[in-house]
């Protein structure tokens, strides 16, 4: 893509499901007129239970199809699991700016008072060497506790489908951090899955007022704005399009649940 993309060239947000909407929401505040394509890989959901090899092959191939189809000016991998496993593969495969999503361990380490940080993500994310590296680089003198919770991904998807959130899933995730050695002194939790901010009210209530929740969405939005500064945008905002890979397991969410994020139509690919 050339240095000056057309004004109607969209931003492409990609996730396994609906979690990336939490990143899209922050980006829309900074770039309200940006055309949006939101792509959810429902055929591959949940990513947290897939192998590294599978995701390293699937994500670049699928994004290649999406880039060819929609010609975005920039791609946002709004998924911690896909980013920590496949980001380098995607950047090698595609000739378009790529913004990834990584756990917000650096700001958590800077803000923690007790020196005990929780990282709540998918099982695939919390076991990645990338998380080891971030912890060693930014929280070497602090205690970093990790817990993988596939149940929270299910709960977040259910919430945007208009279904009740399972309290047991919330409590299990909280206990997964609290019951580790040092968990009593936890004062900040990194939501290392873009699905999890959708459950921030429920998680905050369960952790209590002494624990702060943090995620990387604000930083990602600022990065998108920086990489697109000086580019042309449409004069007026328009509704975004959500596209889903076809799945026999996962049904599409109601469109009304996507409208608050600026999405006004859906498609299946």
Instruction: Please give the positions annotated as active site.
Output: 79, 193
Q: Which two tokens stand for residue 2?
A: 């050339």
CA nearest neighbour of 267 among 250, 242, 247 = 242
CA nearest neighbour of 135 among 154, 120, 117 = 117
Task: List Cα–Cα distances, 215 to 6, 27, 104, 244, in angstroms.
Answer: 31, 14, 6, 25
Sheet containing strand 240-244, strands side by side: 98-99, 74-77, 11-15, 36-40, 240-244, 263-268
- Partners of 40 in the beta sheet? 15, 244
Q: Which residues contact 56 (CB under 8 A, 6 or more apart)?
A: 85, 86, 89
- Partners of 116 in the beta sheet? 143
Q: Which two tokens stand for residue 180?
A: 């580790």
Q: What share of the chain is helix, strand, coil (3-state, %, to 5)?
A: 45, 15, 35
């Amino acid at each position: 893509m050339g240095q000056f993309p057309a004004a109607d060239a969209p931003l492409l947000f990609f996730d396994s499901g609906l979690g990336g909407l939490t990143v899209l929401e922050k980006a829309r505040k900074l770039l309200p007129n940006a055309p949006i394509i939101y792509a959810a890989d429902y055929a591959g959901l949940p990513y947290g239970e897939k192998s590294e090899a599978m995701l390293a092959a699937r994500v670049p191939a699928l994004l290649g199809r999406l880039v060819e189809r929609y010609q975005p000016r920039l791609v946002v991998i709004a998924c911690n699991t896909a980013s920590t496993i496949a980001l380098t593969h995607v950047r090698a495969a595609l000739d378009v700016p790529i913004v990834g999503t990584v756990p917000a361990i650096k700001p958590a380490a800077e803000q923690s008072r007790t020196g005990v940080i929780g990282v709540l993500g998918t099982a695939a994310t919390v076991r990645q060497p990338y998380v080891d590296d971030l912890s060693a680089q930014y929280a070497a003198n602090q205690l970093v506790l990790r817990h993988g919770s596939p149940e929270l991904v299910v709960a977040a998807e259910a919430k945007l489908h208009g279904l009740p959130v399972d309290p047991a899933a919330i409590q299990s995730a909280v206990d997964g951090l609290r019951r580790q050695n040092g968990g009593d002194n936890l004062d900040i939790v990194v939501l290392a899955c873009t699905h999890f901010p959708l459950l921030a009210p429920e998680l905050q209530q369960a952790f209590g007022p002494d624990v702060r929740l943090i995620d990387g969405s604000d930083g990602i939005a600022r990065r998108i704005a920086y990489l697109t500064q000086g580019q042309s945008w449409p004069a007026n905002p328009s509704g975004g399009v959500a596209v889903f890979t076809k799945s026999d397991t996962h049904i599409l969410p109601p469109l009304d649940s996507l409208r608050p994020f600026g999405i006004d139509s859906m498609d299946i690919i």
